[in-house]
A and B are shown apart, each in its own frame.
Chain A
Amino acid sequence: MSAVSYGMVVDTRTCVACAACVIACKTENDVAEGFSRDWIFTATSGSFPNLAMEIRSERCNHCEDAPCVSVCPTGASHYGPGGTVQVTESKCTGCKACIAACPYDARFIDPRTGAIDKCTFCVHRVENGTPTTACQEVCPTKSIYFGDLNDPESEVSRVLRVREAYALLPDAGTRPKHFFLK
């Protein structure tokens, strides 16, 4: 395990599904038109008038045991700084094996390059002196936490200690590093 392990936590209680995270990510990362690296998921349960709704801002889970990395035939998908999952564009052949392998549907082909694109946890920022990801920075409800899961003093560690949290598809066995506060 690397010394730093980046993770993200989204507070579903305060997220209002505004999608500022989606737009900010698109402009920060110059994401191809028609595609996005993060997205909003809304689940409504019950029937009128007894309803509940959960809202999540979702993206690549940067799994510790990432099937997209293990399946990649060229090594384009790899573990990067802070245990993030990254893609090297020049090595990606666009074979889409990782798209099939990813249980979170977090990957797509950038039509401009023919290579895989997905969330990078904004390592170009967080590894270079800007402590926030673009989605976290823009979020008007401050629902997105990002930081080092191995540092007990980090904000992500703190919120995970005090609030009940879950990860998506834990049974997929990928050890995701993206959590959601209930």
Chain B
Amino acid sequence: MKRRQFIRVGGYGAAGAAVAGGLTTDWYGRYGNPTADPGTDGDRVVPSFCELCFWKCGILAHVKDGRVTKIKGNPKDPLSNGHLCPRGAGGTGLLYDPDRLKKPMIRRDVRGSQVFEDVSWDDALGVVAENFERIKAEHGAAALALFSHGYGGSWMKHLVKAHGSPNIAAPSYAQCRGPREVGFDLTFGAGVGSPENTDIRNARCLVLIGSHLGENMHNTQVQDFADAIRNEADIITVDPRYSVAASKSRWWLPIKPGTDTALLLAWMNVIIGEELYDRDYIERYAYGFEQLAEHVKAFTPEWAYPRTGIEPDVIRRTARAMGAARPATLVHPGRHVTWYGDDTQRSRAIALLNALLGSWGRKGGFFVPSQIQLPPYEYPGYLKPDAQAADRPAPSDYPLGDQVLAQGVCDAAITGVRGDSAIKAWMVYGSNLPTTLPDPENTYKAIQELDFLVTVDVLPAEIVGWSDVVLPEATYLERCDELYNPWWREPYVAVRQEVVPPMYDSKPGWWMARELGKRIGLPEFFPWKDSIEYAKTRLEAAGLDCEVMKEQGVIRGKPGPLYFEEGAVPEFYTDSGKIELYSPKLAALGFDPMPTYDHSKLEEPPEGYYRLLFGRAPVHTFGRTTNNRLLSEVYRENEVWVNRDVARRWGLEDGERVYLQNQDGKRSSFSAPVKVTGRIRPDAVYVVHGYGRRAPKLRFVHGKGIDDNELITRYKVDPIMGGTGMNVNFVTFLRAADVVEDEPAVDEPVVVAEEVVA
């Protein structure tokens, strides 16, 4: 056949098929070529739950020839409902990350120089145990602090509690959700917890204040958010940035950053003034309505307008939308809420607004969660710690901070901060403190003063490079963990199971904790053979079938009544037993009993500077996943969002690389491309958190993008609970072409360190 004919026949498509058939070839045959099955179905499917973020969705992991091929949602799991977010689907990218920590290591040079020697587990654990015991003998048990994030941390918490230290901190409190929990607890006598008891799916009006659902992929919340969209809920999004959620909303209120409380007060002014609130609910359940009504009188929409930039008419109309849909109006409490240092009061304002709308305990507002009774494992009691937590200057500081403040524990390692430095050793589990606690220079300073630092991690994050001993943990797909027993819409228990055996020389956290426990004289706290025996003991005590748990990954209980109208009991664990609109507790402590707003305290960006805001990309859980090559195919480097008019003034082109430099002259270690967009206010810039990584052994993500955290050299501490408000820094642009690389691109010692350990 000549080439011309060849092409001509091909050009006829279906007609060609008939010709081809006549030529006894199946070239053009329909259905003649079955599409190959890619063969990724597992020969085993293991139910477990995810750890790519902290939502803990039920998964089904497919294993073929010993390799995890794909991860699906477990349809029996009430959080995933058979669906996953991209991170959960991309868990194999963590399991098979070539940069994983493979062997226990001991440092053989100055801290931060990243010179390590591979050692045996016996040697590594021996050094850890020796240091724990030595420091306990010299300084007391409380001189050891644990930082922990992630579900495997439960074993380390148990170990450190048994050791006798009260200094157990999680950055998820004072750097994230803490103010929200305190604000809601002050109002309703309960926090919203995690997973939050928000009834998004049934809301008829949903108000999001800085919550970027859709970019923040807490699976169930996003599933419910889509339901709310399908149900044509009135969605109101308050955000300086046109988030994905804003694009799904009927109302987008591009608020001036830092003024949210003013808007909340004005909304309350309208809702009370126009009698849009739930009078019956307030009369029955609330305390202090008269005071609140009087308090918000001055905060008119006209008062709020010049502060927030939101027009009075918009404030009124959105308030009416909330009133019209009540009690199915959910003013979402948010999750990462440590913004401006007044965050407990802002969260209180959100709680008060919900109270006025009668949404707590109501369908479309906040449901009443329940939990399966799962007795704890019977251990000997923990001894009372020999000292108070060293996380605050005086025990009376931040009086309502009911968890240990991570930044305070960090500071306590620095001489002079707590008189004599109180903390001598850190154990760090899954928390990359240099990208988590504000002001990394301060964190490095604390690290340099430590006698001993041990990290337990999966990847060689920044903190690992500064450690004396590194213990490589097996990933969530290679280990069993503590049972998961959340308060949720329906009670259930889920199990994390070993899908494949640990790769390399990694070990599960329970094993490390037990081995360390034995070595430091605490064998009675680790009587179980392994985590399976531990889980079995707990499940059997609760009368739950271990075989069913193993096969299904989850056992669901009977849901209780979800709403007051369905028989849920309206109980408020406040001092008055009522919803406290006016808080006598705050008043007694010298704080405003009702939230207020002082515009004179709002700092404006200096000329040529922009407020630095940060958030999430849907495929990433901040720095924990940015080295995941599979997920990074979708998003591999952050961008600096710059308003189009601002970019024009600076002459910045879309995609042009810039460094950011903050008000204190701190410049980002690396550059990132500019995203010129109409989707952000002119007074702010935005980056996705988790980039600009300085750890050189994270070979994939090292050097990509900008780390917002190193530009957070200032933060404002919430006087009520000690949260670190971090949205108080301003940055300016430095064109990458103009910047001479004069600084080391990797973490290096900031102080010449002491002698080598071990």
Choose among A48, A70, A86 the residue that contacts B11 (Cβ–Cβ < 8 A). A70
Is A109 in contact with chain B by the CB < 8 A criterion?
no
Q: A18-B618, A75-B20, A140-B219 are in contact. Are A26 and B633 (CB under 8 A)?
A: yes
Q: Is the CB of A124 within 8 A of B86?
A: no
Q: A75-B26, A140-B83 are in contact. Are A55 and B678 (CB under 8 A)?
A: no
Bin chain B's interface residue count.
35 or more
Contact partners of B83 in chain A: CB under 8 A: 20, 137-140, 142
B220 to chain A, nearest CB (A): 8
Contact partners of B631 in chain A: CB under 8 A: 23
Is A157 in contact with chain B by the CB < 8 A criterion?
no
Q: A27-B70, A142-B223 are in contact. Are A74 and B27 (CB under 8 A)?
A: yes
List the A residue with the shortest CB-CB distance to B677: A44
Q: Is the CB of B40 within 8 A of A27?
A: yes
Is B367 in contact with chain A by the CB < 8 A criterion?
no
B629 to chain A, nearest CB (A): 7
A142 to B33, CA, bound (A): 31
Q: Is the CB of A14 within 8 A of B226?
A: yes
A86 to B29, CA, bound (A): 12
Is B452 in contact with chain A by the CB < 8 A criterion?
no
List which B21-38 residues lie within 8 A (CB) of chain A.
25-38
* Chain B positions 241 through 278: 1 when the CB is less than 8 Å from some CB of chain A, otherwise 0: 01011011000101000000000000000000000000
Choose among B25, B229, B245, B678 the residue that contacts A46 (Cβ–Cβ < 8 A). B678
* Chain B positions 204 through 234: 1 when the CB is less than 8 Å from some CB of chain A, otherwise 0: 0000000001110101001101100110000
Is B73 in contact with chain A by the CB < 8 A criterion?
yes
Q: Is the CB of A140 within 8 A of B84?
A: yes
Q: Is the CB of A91 within 8 A of B10?
A: no
Choose among A23, A78, A91 the residue that contacts B89 (Cβ–Cβ < 8 A). A23
Q: Is the CB of A73 within 8 A of B7?
A: yes
B461 to chain A, nearest CB (A): 22
Contact partners of A49 in chain B: CB under 8 A: 242, 252, 254
Is A72 in contact with chain B by the CB < 8 A criterion?
yes
Q: Is the CB of B680 within 8 A of A48?
A: yes
Which of A30-38, A148-156, A164-172 interfaces with chain B? A30-38
Is A133 in contact with chain B by the CB < 8 A criterion?
no
A36 to B680, CA, bound (A): 30
Q: Is the CB of B35 within 8 A of A123?
A: yes
Contact partners of B247 in chain A: CB under 8 A: 51-53, 55
A49 to B682, CA, bound (A): 10
Choose among A30, A81, A137, A140 the residue that contacts B222 (Cβ–Cβ < 8 A). A140
List which A2-61 residues lie within 8 A (CB) of chain B.
13-14, 16-20, 22-24, 26-30, 33-34, 36, 40, 44, 46-49, 51-53, 55
Q: Is the CB of A80 within 8 A of B70?
A: no
Count residues of A near B (Cβ-Cβ below 8 Å): 57
Is B381 in contact with chain A by the CB < 8 A criterion?
no
Q: A70-B10, A139-B83 are in contact. Are A48 and B28 (CB under 8 A)?
A: no
Q: Is the CB of B30 within 8 A of A79?
A: yes
Q: Is the CB of B10 within 8 A of A120?
A: no
* Chain B positions 1 through 13: 1 when the CB is less than 8 Å from some CB of chain A, otherwise 0: 0000011001111
Contact partners of B33 in chain A: CB under 8 A: 78, 80, 86, 88, 91
Choose among A27, A71, A140 the residue that contacts B223 (Cβ–Cβ < 8 A). A140
Contact partners of B25 in chain A: CB under 8 A: 75
Is B554 in contact with chain A by the CB < 8 A criterion?
no
A42 to chain B, nearest CB (A): 9
Choose among A48, A73, A74 the residue that contacts B681 (Cβ–Cβ < 8 A). A48
B180 to chain A, nearest CB (A): 23
Is B92 in contact with chain A by the CB < 8 A criterion?
yes
A79 to B32, CA, bound (A): 9
Beyond A18-B214, A137-B73, 18 additional pairs, beta carbon < 8 A: A13-B229, A20-B83, A20-B85, A22-B633, A26-B633, A29-B40, A30-B40, A48-B681, A49-B252, A49-B254, A51-B679, A65-B13, A70-B13, A70-B16, A78-B32, A80-B30, A120-B35, A124-B37
Report the 4 A-B pairs with minimum CB-CB distance, sorted nearest first: A16-B214, A75-B27, A141-B226, A70-B13
Binding site for B on A (CB under 8 A): 13-14, 16-20, 22-24, 26-30, 33-34, 36, 40, 44, 46-49, 51-53, 55, 65-66, 69-75, 78-81, 86-89, 91, 120, 123-124, 128, 137-143
Question: Would you list 14 pairs from A and B whose C-beta atoms are within 8 A, ordered by A residue?
Answer: A16-B245, A23-B89, A23-B630, A23-B634, A40-B634, A48-B643, A48-B644, A80-B31, A80-B35, A81-B31, A86-B33, A120-B35, A124-B38, A141-B223
